[in-house]
Amino acid sequence: MFLHPQIVSVVFRLCLSTKDIESRSESLGLFDTLKCDPEAFYSHMTKYVLPTVEGSDQARLLYYYTLLDAAGCEPHVTTAIKPDSHVKLLKKLRAVANGLDYRRLTDESLDPLATLQPVLTSQNVLSISKLANRLPVPGGGGATVSPSAVHAAWLEKLFWKGDPQLLKRPPQSEPEFLHAYDTCAKYLERLVPADAVRFLDALSTQARSEVIKRATKALRQLGEKSRKRGGEASAEQERTDPAGMTFDDALTHLRQSQAHLDTLSQAFVLSLRDGQQKYGQLYDLSRSERSKVHELAVTMATDGQPLERIGELLRVAVGPLDLSVKAVLHAATERVVAALR
């Protein structure tokens, strides 16, 4: 029963090209007999053959999954991606994503975007984004990668590392950061609002205040454009956004970011950054979000910072925080007591 699976295993292990493996398999007449026990064949191949194939050897992997598909193994496959889908994916990816580690890409315990990002370019991102919904998200309960998420991963790479066609070198100075953003902004319409916000939040550069201003204008225009296309089109875009964020939500987020950035030039914040860099950095990254400001204030309290400093922190942060020095001290006391138990 295991004779032919063992033959296939041996053939795969030989230092042969994929074309030679195909020829030997055909000459041995394996295809017809493999269908006799597809479950045993699938078990043998996944245990002994797949581990020997390099993740970037897309030709070998294509043949591997072609064999599984031809042997009728699909009913016994427990992974989200079935052999026929692997075959379709590999045929398309081979043409546009040379060097991609396909095994890592389809490892359901890993983030596929982290594997895709290094190979994304202005030349292939559109093609790859069209294949995204075939890739499961780890722990996503059946959710798949969205085209928007692929474009967001590419834009992050484009901004920081450049692109042979669009951005010849990574930005170093403030004018270059702004030029890099302007290059990326042309593609923001390919992102759902939540992905656009995540992309913009990651652009922590000295030019970020101006970037936020330009991005706010761009998203406002995209929101108006979406509404002009009609409620149905706008609703469809929001349904494809896992976070359910609308353009109005994104604009509110960016305005909060801008208001927070405006506080960074205040004397108290400058004193944090100059004399107490840990606190300064935490405040900088907080965006004046309630939970993060609260955590920073409690940390300052447990570190023994004066109450006046904690009060200044709560006053300088923007937004409806609804925090008091008394509440911060209560939380800090609870934390100390819990640590002593």
pLDDT digits (tens, 9 = 90+) for 152-192: 999 999 999 999 899 989 998 889 999 999 999 999 999 99
DSSP 266: S
DSSP 265: T
Residue 239 has what pLDDT? 45
Taking the CA atoms of 328, 333, 334 and 339 in sequence, report the sign of the dihedral they define.
positive
Q: Are residues 307 and 199 in the same domain?
A: no
pLDDT higher than threshold 60 for residue 291: yes
Q: Are residues 214 and 170 in the same domain?
A: yes
Containing structural domain, residue 335: 265-341
Average pLDDT over residues 297-317: 93
The domain tally of the chain equals 3
Residue 155 has what pLDDT? 96
Residue 1 has what pLDDT? 41
More confident residue, 79 or 13: 79
pLDDT higher than threshold 50 for residue 47: yes
Residue 11 has what pLDDT? 55
DSSP 47: I
Confidence class for position 321, pLDDT limits 50, 70, 90: confident
Residue 129 has what pLDDT? 96
d(CA 44, CA 8) in angstroms, rounded, equals 10
Confidence class for position 31, pLDDT limits 50, 70, 90: low
More confident residue, 204 or 293: 293
Place of tokens 């292939």: 124
Residue 30 has what pLDDT? 59
Q: Are residues 55 and 80 in the same domain?
A: yes
What's the pTM value of the predicted model, to 2 decimals? 0.82
d(CA 157, CA 215) in angstroms, rounded, equals 18
115 occurs within a structural domain: no
Q: Are residues 250 and 311 in the same domain?
A: no
Residue 274 has what pLDDT? 77
Query: 239-251: per-residue pLDDT in tens?
Result: 455 667 899 999 9
CA distances from 188 to 128, 182, 208, 332 (A): 17, 10, 16, 42
pLDDT-wise least confident of 2-11, 64-73, 253-262, 286-295: 2-11
Which of these three, 205, 237, 263, is where a domain ends? 263
Residue 324 has what pLDDT? 92
Residue 27 has what pLDDT? 60
120 occurs within a structural domain: no
214 occurs within a structural domain: yes
Q: Are residues 6 and 59 in the same domain?
A: yes
> CB neighbours of 185 closer than 8 A, spacing ≥ 6?
214, 215, 218
Q: For residues 284-306, b (16+ Cβ closer than 10 Å) or e, as one string?
A: bebbbbeeebbebbbbbbbeeee
Q: Are residues 250 and 291 in the same domain?
A: no
257 occurs within a structural domain: yes
> CB neighbours of 132 closer than 8 A, spacing ≥ 6?
144, 145, 146, 147, 149, 150
Which of these three, 263, 296, 320, is where a domain ends? 263
Of all residues in the chain, the percent with pLDDT exceeding 70 is 85
Average pLDDT over residues 132-143: 86
Q: Are residues 227 and 302 in the same domain?
A: no
Q: Are residues 304 and 259 in the same domain?
A: no
d(CA 83, CA 88) in angstroms, rounded, equals 9
Which of these three, 210, 240, 263, is where a domain ends? 263
Average pLDDT over residues 84-90: 95
